[in-house]
């Protein structure tokens, strides 16, 4: 089974771009004194975050070849870091 998927990196870049575009649009709307919902019609931020979760699930399943203890540790660390990053 292949362990390197260039398309996954490209998809991560697209997802990150969605989140950045969403936040930039929100800050621009606030700076212009308008409601962000009036300017931004598509919630790219949510789409980007959901894409990251899907990619994380895919990457986690790739690590299933690891011994169970190592897999659990990696899963817990990846999940904890993802959640900590999201809530900060």
Q: What does the pLDDT profile of the chain (88 residues) look like in tens digits?
A: 556 777 888 888 888 898 888 888 888 888 888 876 666 677 888 888 888 888 877 777 776 676 777 767 777 777 776 666 666 5
How confident is the model at residue 38, as a pLDDT?
64
In a domain, 72, yes or no: yes
In angstroms, the CA 31 to CA 18 distance is 20
Contacting residues for 60 by C-beta, under 8 A, at least 6 apart: 74, 75, 78
Query: Domain range spanning residue 17?
Result: 6-87
3-state DSSP assignment of residue 66: coil
Assigned domain for 34 exists: yes
Q: How many domains does the chain have?
A: 1
Asked if residue 64 is part of any domain, the answer here is yes
CA distance 16 to 49: 8
DSSP SS3 for 40: coil
Whether 47 is in a domain gets the answer yes
The whole model's pTM is what? 0.61
The pLDDT of residue 2 is: 55
Residue 57 lies in a domain: yes
Q: Identify the pLDDT of residue 63.
A: 64
Residue 39 lies in a domain: yes
Domain presence at residue 1 = no
């Amino acid at each position: 089974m292949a362990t390197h998927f260039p398309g996954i990196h490209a998809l991560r870049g697209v997802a990150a771009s969605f989140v950045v575009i969403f936040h930039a649009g929100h800050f621009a709307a606030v700076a212009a004194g308008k409601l962000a919902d009036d300017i931004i019609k598509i919630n790219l931020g949510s789409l980007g975050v959901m894409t990251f979760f899907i990619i994380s699930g895919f990457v986690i399943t790739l690590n299933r070849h690891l011994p169970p203890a190592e897999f659990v540790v990696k899963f817990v660390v990846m999940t904890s870091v993802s959640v900590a990053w999201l809530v900060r």
